[in-house]
């Protein structure tokens, strides 16, 4: 596959179905654990809304041959500060009673992943459909996020990757990211989730 025939564009609300599929592909065990069985509907709901951390406003899509191939979702420290509360409000609106039950779990993960420090840009989720992998699309999406980070005035890019996702970790290391820390969230009666926080200075 010729990567030069791949285009990158800003997302549109009409991309919601693909966004939900790809964001779940990026965290197949984590997101259902955090958001419950209706996670795909939750992600589509947030994606179509303005001013929240899962909005189409913060997402880019890669297209190859007129078909969506992958996406990246990211935002800077200023957006995180402005939109964190609105994201929680929209989650409550969509999840209702489930949100109350999931809130302690949400808070536990919030203290480990998704932390955005001052002058930092955060890559929240990145995924490429299987048939388009090994064609450099993931790399191009990361470069787009890094360009946006520079435009925002960020001094570094950060991301969280599950320790067991060795393929993604190798890619990030090849692109200049280094492991800054390792954290684990332990769930009562469930599997623990361990993450590397990886960073790259701009």
pTM of the model: 0.95
Closest CA to 123 of 75, 181, 195: 75
The answer to whether 47 and 13 have CB atoms below 8 angstroms apart is: yes
Name the one residue in this structure whose structure tokens are 């009409």: 14
What is d(CA 73, CA 37) in angstroms, rounded to the nearest whole number?
22
What's the CATH number where 119 sits?
Answer: 3.40.630.30
Structural domain including 166 reads 3-201
* Bridge partners of residue 123, in order along the sequence: 74, 159
Task: Write the DSSP assignment of 21-38 as a string of letters.
Answer: HHHHHHSTTHHHHHH-TT
**Per-residue confidence of the chain (202 residues) as pLDDT tens digits?**
444 478 999 999 999 999 999 999 999 999 999 999 999 999 999 999 999 999 999 999 999 989 999 999 999 999 999 999 999 999 999 998 899 889 888 999 998 999 999 999 999 999 999 999 999 999 999 999 999 999 999 999 999 999 999 999 999 999 999 999 999 998 877 789 999 999 999 9
* Number of domain units in the chain: 1
């Amino acid at each position: 596959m010729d990567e030069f025939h791949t285009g990158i564009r800003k997302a549109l609300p009409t991309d919601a179905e693909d966004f939900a599929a790809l964001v779940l592909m990026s965290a197949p065990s984590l997101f259902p654990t955090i958001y419950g069985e209706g996670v795909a509907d939750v992600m589509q709901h947030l994606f179509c809304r303005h001013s929240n951390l899962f909005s189409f406003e913060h997402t880019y899509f890669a297209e190859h041959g007129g078909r969506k191939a992958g996406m990246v979702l990211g935002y800077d420290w200023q957006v995180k500060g402005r939109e964190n509360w609105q994201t929680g409000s929209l989650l409550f609106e969509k999840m209702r009673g489930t949100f109350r039950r999931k809130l302690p779990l949400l808070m536990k993960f919030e203290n480990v992943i998704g932390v955005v420090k001052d002058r930092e840009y955060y890559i929240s989720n990145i995924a490429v459909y299987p048939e388009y992998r090994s064609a450099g699309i993931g790399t191009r999406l990361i470069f787009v996020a890094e360009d946006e980070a520079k435009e925002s005035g960020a001094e570094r890019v950060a991301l969280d990757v599950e320790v067991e996702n060795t393929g993604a970790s190798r890619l990030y290391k090849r692109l200049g990211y280094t492991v800054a820390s390792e954290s684990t969230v332990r769930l009562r009666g469930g599997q623990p989730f361990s993450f590397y926080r990886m960073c790259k200075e701009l």
